[in-house]
Each structure stands twice: as structure tokens, then as C-alpha cells.
Structure 1
């Protein structure tokens, strides 16, 4: 049985639980997806493309490594996929936020093809998750009079990865939801008893507050599509207790906005409030 077949079985099981396909973190499964994408007559090609583009975890997962390597092949013309142009491959790399994607971008930026190097440099200027080894590569190239490396380092020195971010909205409309009265512990937002599910963000999100509260939040979103739901700790502080990032993740999952169209179940910018303040974990 192939990894892909096993994945389809898992998808069927999750569907019965009201869950979407689990984001892929296994490089071996991504390798199978790529083989099916390369085979233009494969019955699973369309689904494999969708999983590859929209449901592969970024960062330092083995899946990200295999995905980044294939995108590099597309950019260099070593592989051809009609649905993934070199420009789109760069866009996908830009959303992978560190790890193998940065290594690939550095390979391209410090390579011999000037046009590709310039395009990779523009993406690198937006990235912030670089390891010391990545900076060392840029430093070495700069000391060898590499103009692209100089341009990237100058961009970092000017903090263009921050200063060139899109402006935030001048006004954010909100509709309030009182999550609880008194201090709201991060354990209410991400119970310790559900720690086993934290790696599965969608599944873990189902433990935030109560199912009834989740339904009420969704109902508010439908009633007020132009507004954001703001969770409030009435007569208390929002997010006391342990600094549990999974609690923030759950709040963002239910009330935030998607960070990237290519990264599933990773949301940002939830709006929260507390009569007595907000815990630093939310700031």
C-alpha cells in the first residue's frame, strides 16, 4: 500500500470527524505526490497538485524539504509542471518561511543565472527566519564581491522585511464575544488534557472553550461578515497562566485571518481584549 493510499484512507476517516485532510509533514508522501504530478495521465494528479500546493506544511518539516527541492527544479528548468510556473514556484517558496526554502532561495540567489538570482533575492528580502549558517553564506558571498549578496544584506540592514509590509487597516470593525467572566486562562483556550492533539491544529482547535462557544463565534461571523470577532475576558485578564502559544493559535484559528493561502490552519491577527488587560503572550 502506498503512502498516498494510506493518506486517502486517513482523509476519509477525518471527514467523518468533520475534519479536513491533515496537512502533510512527511517528505516521503510529498515525493509520491510529485511523482503523480509528473505523470500527466495519473488519475490522482489533480488532487496531488492540490495537496502539494495547499496542504504541505512549511518550515523545517521533511515535507518542506522535498517541496522546496522540487520548486527549485522547476525554477531552474529541470522539471516542468504546467500549473506551477517559475514565478509561481518563487511565490510558493516565499510562503514557506524558513528552513529548506531559505536554503533553496540562497542557492538560487548566489547562483550563476543573474535573472533567477535577482528574483530569488527579492524573495529573500522578505524572509526573517534565517539560521546563522544562512547569514554566513551571505557574508561569504558578500566578501567575494557578490552584488546580489550585498543587496540582500543592505535590505536586511534597512529592515525592509518589516518596513515594506502592507499597511494595517486604518479601521477594524469588531463584534464582541465575552469568552468568560474573570481571568481567562490559556488552559481554557488550549486545555492541557488535549496536549496530544496540538500538532494537528484543526483538531486541537476543537477544544477551545466549548463546542457551544465555537458555534456562537461562527454564528457571529456569519451575522457580521464585515467585522472581526473580538474575544473578551470580562472583568479579568485575557490569557493568564502558562504562556501557551497553542492557546493563541486556537484563538487565531477561530477569529483570526489566514496567514497564507498556501499554509493550512495557520491564522494570524486575532483581536482580543480584557477588562484588566491582556497577557504578553498575545502581544
Structure 2
């Protein structure tokens, strides 16, 4: 029997605490959720889905897994874990990766915590079941959930740090999860992120700042710290360029002409421009 390590999970139907049975998580009202053979738990009720298979497809997940495993974004993971260590309390923390994808970054967090002798509860959640299955394959020891940022299925005031990388933050839900003094670490693309690829696939490139945090401030967050990471990758080969395009929203935004131009590339070095922002609750 696979044991779900997190003990602060909530029923997505009524918010009551979940406890582990033999092969299920159950709430006091009688709702139960099977622990899949891969080790994850699906806490995304059918009525909360906007489509039959929400989130990234298996093809997108596999492309992202190959690209991240190649190490092109390892400096992002290194900066993330450094900021993470600065944001944790001395006690055993609970960290949630909201929109965890195939688990690359939370697995890196786990490795760094272990190297520093820190115990922690690590929870990764994503709306895409193929991504969560891939995350389980990467590290079965962590808690992985099919769940949405709108309803993370985690008990209120039980989380020390929320990570949200290139994702869709839902600030009121995040605020409910965090303990007093908890932190939210956002990672977003800067104006020059993947500039060289964008110059190939779009007729005109618009350099936009990272998303505003006004909605975060409305939910009671304030900016604590902000850092920018900028570097150039080693050259990507033809297959890695295809994987990068496949794993990003550019796959849907680019025209057929732009995607054909990218498909003709045999090599490409890229600018990585990423903004890290740490938010704290203002109350």
C-alpha cells in the first residue's frame, strides 16, 4: 500500500480533513478518493473540470520532461532553491508546488532540503493528470495531487511556502492555505525570456513585463523581495527546440508559418530571463 505522506489534505467537496484508509483517502462525511497505483490522489471532482482532460497533454508533459532533464533550466532551479531556503521557518515546513507539472522543480527542492538535513512535507499539485503521473515516476516519495489552484484541497493555514512557477496563481486560495508568516514564491518570464525563439516564430516580438501582482495585493499579499535571473543557454539541437516549443504556450500562439520556421532550425542559443518575487501576507 502506498502511503500519502501529507496529513493536511482536505476533501475537495466539503473541505473536511482527509485521513488515509487502506487504499483511499476519506473524509468524515464519507467521501473517498482512491490512491492510484502510481501513488497520486485525484482530488479534482468531475464537476470542477472545465474540460474532459484539463491541462497539458501527455505529449507536452513528455517534451517538458526531456527539456528539463537536459539541464537548460537548472539555473532557475538553483535560484529557486536558494530563495526557498531563505524563506523557510526553523520548524519542519510544508511546501506546496501549485502547478507542479512533471515534478522537476519540487524534486530539486527535495534534493536540496535533504542535502541540508531538513525534513519537510512536499506537495505537488497540477490540473493535468499526465503531468502528475510523470511527477510520481520522477519521485514517488513526495505527495502528488491532481487538483486545481482554485481548490487546492489543502487545509487552511497549514502551508509555510507556496511555489508557483510559470503558472496561474489564485491568490485568495493561496492566502487561505498559508500559515501566518507564510510566503508565496512566484517565478515568471521576464521581457527577454526565450527572445531568440520568439523572433523566429512571430512576425513582431512584444517585450512584456512579468504579470502584475495587483490581484495578490487585493488578497492581502505584499512584495517582500524581487530578483531577476538572466543567462544564455548552451545551443539547443533540433529535437530540443521542438520540445521547447511543444512545452510552452507558444505552440498555440504561433502561426503555422512561425512553427515551420522553428522546425527548420538545427541549433539555437536562447536568452533565459526570469523574475522571482517573494510575497508575504500583509496581516
Per the TM superposition, whether the score is higher than 0.5 is: no
Q: Based on CA coordinates, which of the two structures has the bigger radius of gyration? A: 1
* Higher strand proportion: 2
Q: TM-score range by the shorter chain?
A: under 0.3
TM-score, with structure 1 as normaliser: 0.26
Q: Which has the higher contact order (CA 8 A, sep 6+)?
A: 2
